[in-house]
Amino acid sequence: MPHGWDNFSIMAGTAAATLIGLLFVAITVTTGLPTSRIVQGTRGFLTPTLVRFAGVLFLSLAMLVPWPSAWSIGIILGLGGLTGLIYQTTVVITRHRAGLFLVDWHNWVPNVGIPVLGNASLIVGAVGLIAEKSFAPYAIAGAIALLLFAGIYGAWGVTLWIITNRDNR
Protein backbone atom coordinates (compact mmCIF):
# COMPACT_ATOMS: atom_id res chain seq x y z
CA MET A 1 0.00 0.00 0.00
CA PRO A 2 1.41 3.36 -0.95
CA HIS A 3 1.94 5.51 2.11
CA GLY A 4 -0.75 8.05 2.94
CA TRP A 5 -3.62 6.20 1.24
CA ASP A 6 -4.89 4.28 4.27
CA ASN A 7 -7.66 6.74 5.10
CA PHE A 8 -8.91 6.73 1.51
CA SER A 9 -9.16 2.94 1.50
CA ILE A 10 -10.86 2.88 4.90
CA MET A 11 -13.42 5.51 3.85
CA ALA A 12 -14.16 3.85 0.48
CA GLY A 13 -14.49 0.42 2.10
CA THR A 14 -16.77 1.76 4.82
CA ALA A 15 -18.97 3.50 2.25
CA ALA A 16 -19.20 0.33 0.14
CA ALA A 17 -20.04 -1.87 3.13
CA THR A 18 -22.71 0.57 4.33
CA LEU A 19 -24.27 0.78 0.87
CA ILE A 20 -24.34 -3.02 0.60
CA GLY A 21 -26.38 -3.07 3.80
CA LEU A 22 -28.74 -0.46 2.42
CA LEU A 23 -29.22 -2.54 -0.74
CA PHE A 24 -30.43 -5.41 1.40
CA VAL A 25 -32.89 -3.08 3.08
CA ALA A 26 -34.09 -1.77 -0.29
CA ILE A 27 -34.64 -5.25 -1.72
CA THR A 28 -37.08 -6.08 1.08
CA VAL A 29 -39.44 -3.57 -0.52
CA THR A 30 -39.81 -5.88 -3.56
CA THR A 31 -41.63 -8.58 -1.58
CA GLY A 32 -44.96 -7.81 -3.27
CA LEU A 33 -43.69 -8.00 -6.84
CA PRO A 34 -44.28 -11.00 -9.11
CA THR A 35 -41.34 -13.42 -9.07
CA SER A 36 -40.53 -12.99 -12.77
CA ARG A 37 -40.20 -9.21 -12.37
CA ILE A 38 -37.99 -9.64 -9.28
CA VAL A 39 -35.65 -11.99 -11.17
CA GLN A 40 -35.49 -9.62 -14.14
CA GLY A 41 -34.74 -6.58 -11.99
CA THR A 42 -32.25 -8.46 -9.84
CA ARG A 43 -30.23 -9.64 -12.81
CA GLY A 44 -30.38 -6.30 -14.57
CA PHE A 45 -29.96 -3.82 -11.74
CA LEU A 46 -29.43 -5.20 -8.25
CA THR A 47 -26.70 -7.79 -8.87
CA PRO A 48 -24.42 -5.44 -10.86
CA THR A 49 -24.79 -2.79 -8.16
CA LEU A 50 -24.02 -5.29 -5.42
CA VAL A 51 -21.00 -6.56 -7.36
CA ARG A 52 -19.66 -3.00 -7.73
CA PHE A 53 -20.02 -2.26 -4.03
CA ALA A 54 -18.49 -5.63 -3.10
CA GLY A 55 -15.66 -4.95 -5.54
CA VAL A 56 -14.94 -1.58 -3.93
CA LEU A 57 -15.01 -3.21 -0.50
CA PHE A 58 -12.60 -5.94 -1.66
CA LEU A 59 -10.25 -3.45 -3.33
CA SER A 60 -10.23 -1.24 -0.26
CA LEU A 61 -9.45 -4.17 2.01
CA ALA A 62 -6.77 -5.48 -0.35
CA MET A 63 -5.09 -2.08 -0.39
CA LEU A 64 -4.83 -2.13 3.42
CA VAL A 65 -2.95 -5.44 3.62
CA PRO A 66 0.79 -5.04 4.23
CA TRP A 67 1.89 -6.92 1.09
CA PRO A 68 5.54 -8.01 0.91
CA SER A 69 5.89 -6.53 -2.57
CA ALA A 70 3.97 -4.48 -5.11
CA TRP A 71 3.73 -7.52 -7.37
CA SER A 72 1.22 -9.30 -5.12
CA ILE A 73 -1.27 -6.45 -4.89
CA GLY A 74 -0.59 -5.43 -8.50
CA ILE A 75 -1.59 -8.85 -9.78
CA ILE A 76 -4.68 -8.94 -7.56
CA LEU A 77 -5.79 -5.47 -8.67
CA GLY A 78 -5.04 -6.21 -12.33
CA LEU A 79 -7.07 -9.41 -12.22
CA GLY A 80 -9.84 -7.52 -10.42
CA GLY A 81 -9.93 -4.91 -13.19
CA LEU A 82 -9.93 -7.56 -15.92
CA THR A 83 -12.69 -9.49 -14.16
CA GLY A 84 -14.67 -6.25 -13.83
CA LEU A 85 -14.41 -5.59 -17.58
CA ILE A 86 -15.58 -9.11 -18.38
CA TYR A 87 -18.43 -8.85 -15.87
CA GLN A 88 -19.52 -5.50 -17.31
CA THR A 89 -19.81 -7.14 -20.72
CA THR A 90 -22.07 -9.84 -19.26
CA VAL A 91 -24.18 -7.16 -17.54
CA VAL A 92 -24.77 -5.37 -20.85
CA ILE A 93 -25.71 -8.66 -22.54
CA THR A 94 -28.03 -9.67 -19.66
CA ARG A 95 -29.79 -6.30 -19.68
CA HIS A 96 -30.22 -6.47 -23.43
CA ARG A 97 -31.73 -9.98 -23.27
CA ALA A 98 -34.08 -8.93 -20.47
CA GLY A 99 -35.25 -5.90 -22.44
CA LEU A 100 -33.71 -3.47 -19.95
CA PHE A 101 -32.22 -1.18 -22.57
CA LEU A 102 -30.22 1.92 -21.77
CA VAL A 103 -31.19 4.11 -24.70
CA ASP A 104 -30.28 7.51 -23.27
CA TRP A 105 -26.62 8.51 -23.01
CA HIS A 106 -27.20 9.92 -19.52
CA ASN A 107 -28.11 6.40 -18.36
CA TRP A 108 -25.56 4.60 -20.52
CA VAL A 109 -22.57 6.59 -19.26
CA PRO A 110 -22.93 5.83 -15.51
CA ASN A 111 -24.22 2.27 -16.03
CA VAL A 112 -21.71 1.16 -18.66
CA GLY A 113 -19.10 3.82 -19.36
CA ILE A 114 -18.08 4.65 -15.78
CA PRO A 115 -17.62 0.99 -14.70
CA VAL A 116 -15.56 0.29 -17.83
CA LEU A 117 -13.44 3.38 -17.18
CA GLY A 118 -13.05 2.41 -13.51
CA ASN A 119 -11.92 -1.12 -14.30
CA ALA A 120 -9.55 0.10 -17.02
CA SER A 121 -8.09 2.60 -14.54
CA LEU A 122 -7.65 -0.24 -12.05
CA ILE A 123 -5.67 -2.24 -14.61
CA VAL A 124 -3.51 0.79 -15.44
CA GLY A 125 -2.95 1.44 -11.73
CA ALA A 126 -2.02 -2.20 -11.13
CA VAL A 127 0.53 -2.15 -13.93
CA GLY A 128 1.85 1.16 -12.62
CA LEU A 129 2.11 -0.28 -9.12
CA ILE A 130 4.15 -3.24 -10.38
CA ALA A 131 6.36 -0.88 -12.43
CA GLU A 132 6.68 1.42 -9.37
CA LYS A 133 5.26 4.48 -11.17
CA SER A 134 4.14 7.48 -9.14
CA PHE A 135 0.73 7.69 -10.86
CA ALA A 136 -0.32 4.21 -9.68
CA PRO A 137 -2.02 5.12 -6.37
CA TYR A 138 -3.95 7.90 -8.11
CA ALA A 139 -5.16 5.56 -10.85
CA ILE A 140 -6.22 2.98 -8.25
CA ALA A 141 -7.98 5.59 -6.10
CA GLY A 142 -9.68 6.97 -9.22
CA ALA A 143 -10.84 3.47 -10.13
CA ILE A 144 -12.25 2.89 -6.66
CA ALA A 145 -14.04 6.25 -6.72
CA LEU A 146 -15.48 5.58 -10.19
CA LEU A 147 -16.73 2.13 -9.21
CA LEU A 148 -18.25 3.53 -6.02
CA PHE A 149 -20.00 6.24 -8.05
CA ALA A 150 -21.26 3.64 -10.53
CA GLY A 151 -22.61 1.59 -7.62
CA ILE A 152 -24.38 4.61 -6.16
CA TYR A 153 -25.95 5.39 -9.53
CA GLY A 154 -26.91 1.72 -9.83
CA ALA A 155 -28.54 1.85 -6.39
CA TRP A 156 -30.54 4.84 -7.60
CA GLY A 157 -31.57 2.78 -10.63
CA VAL A 158 -32.62 -0.10 -8.37
CA THR A 159 -34.70 2.29 -6.29
CA LEU A 160 -36.42 3.75 -9.35
CA TRP A 161 -37.02 0.26 -10.78
CA ILE A 162 -38.63 -0.88 -7.50
CA ILE A 163 -40.86 2.22 -7.33
CA THR A 164 -41.90 1.92 -10.97
CA ASN A 165 -42.68 -1.79 -10.76
CA ARG A 166 -44.52 -1.62 -7.45
CA ASP A 167 -47.00 0.74 -9.09
CA ASN A 168 -47.48 -1.64 -12.06
CA ARG A 169 -48.48 -4.78 -10.14
**107 belongs to a structural domain:** yes
Give residue 65's domain range.
6-167
Dump pLDDT digits (tens) for 79-109: 999 999 999 999 888 877 776 666 677 777 8
Dump pLDDT digits (tens) for 131-157: 999 999 999 999 999 999 999 998 888
**97 belongs to a structural domain:** yes
- Residue 165, pLDDT > 80, answer no
Per-residue pLDDT, 111: 84
Of the candidates 161, 160, 121, 155, which has an alpha carbon nearest to the alpha carbon of residue 141? 121
**1 belongs to a structural domain:** no
**19 belongs to a structural domain:** yes
What average pLDDT does this structure show over 12-28? 89
**127 belongs to a structural domain:** yes
CA dist 116 and 19 (Å) reads 21
**10 belongs to a structural domain:** yes
What average pLDDT does this structure show over 1-10? 82
**51 belongs to a structural domain:** yes
* Domain count across the chain: 1
**131 belongs to a structural domain:** yes
